[in-house]
Structure 1
Amino acid sequence: MKKYTFSLISLIISFGCIAAYGIIGSKVAPDGTLIEPFFLIPMFWLFALIAAISALIVKVCPFFYKSKKHSNN
């Protein structure tokens, strides 16, 4: 579980971004412009992608190290 810490933190941050976007909400200003925290949507996808890639790397890397170790003996 310790090796997935970075992935879990990234995943929690990504869900925090999407939750904050929902809580903050959006509104229309009196002049007709839309006011919303749009930057949270790409941040959600960025952190979700980081979490997925880091989890995949942690899961796949031991297979390469084991195969190199056994092939040298």
Structure 2
Amino acid sequence: MKRKFVIASIPLLLGVLCLAIYAMIGSSVDSDGTLHEPFFLIPIGYLFFFSGIIAMLYTGITSTMKKIRQR
């Protein structure tokens, strides 16, 4: 696998990792009704996930365009 695809897939893996960590940590409610949850991991996870998808699409399209031009 080329290095550019590995670099483009890092945000995708980070997004999945953030969502998995959120699921593992979970949430809890104190006796006074205060909710404790790592809510910040959800938008960060989605941001990484979708930016990774866009990076992979861009890398794939540009590499196929270069292959087509070389023929």
Give the TM-score of the pair, scaled to structure 1: 0.77
Whether the 8 Å contact between 2:9 and 2:55 is mirrored in structure 1 is no
Percent of residue pairs bearing the same amino acid type: 38
Give ranges in structure 1 of 5+ residues lacking alignment.
Answer: none
Map 1:1-73; keep pairs closer than 5 Å. 1=1, 2-62=3-63, 63=65, 67=69
In the alignment of these two chains, the number of paired residues is 69
Can you list the C-alpha shifts for 1:29-52, whole angstroms capped at 9, x where unaligned? 221121100011111110111111
CA RMSD of the aligned region, Å? 2.1
Distance of 2:20 and 2:49 partners within structure 1: 13
Distance of 2:53 and 2:13 partners within structure 1: 12
Can you list the C-alpha shifts for 1:6-59, whole angstroms capped at 9, x where unaligned? 222112211110111011110002211211000111111101111111011111
Letter in 1 for 2:44: M
Structure 1: 4+ residue segments shifted above 2 A: 64-67
Larger radius of gyration: 1
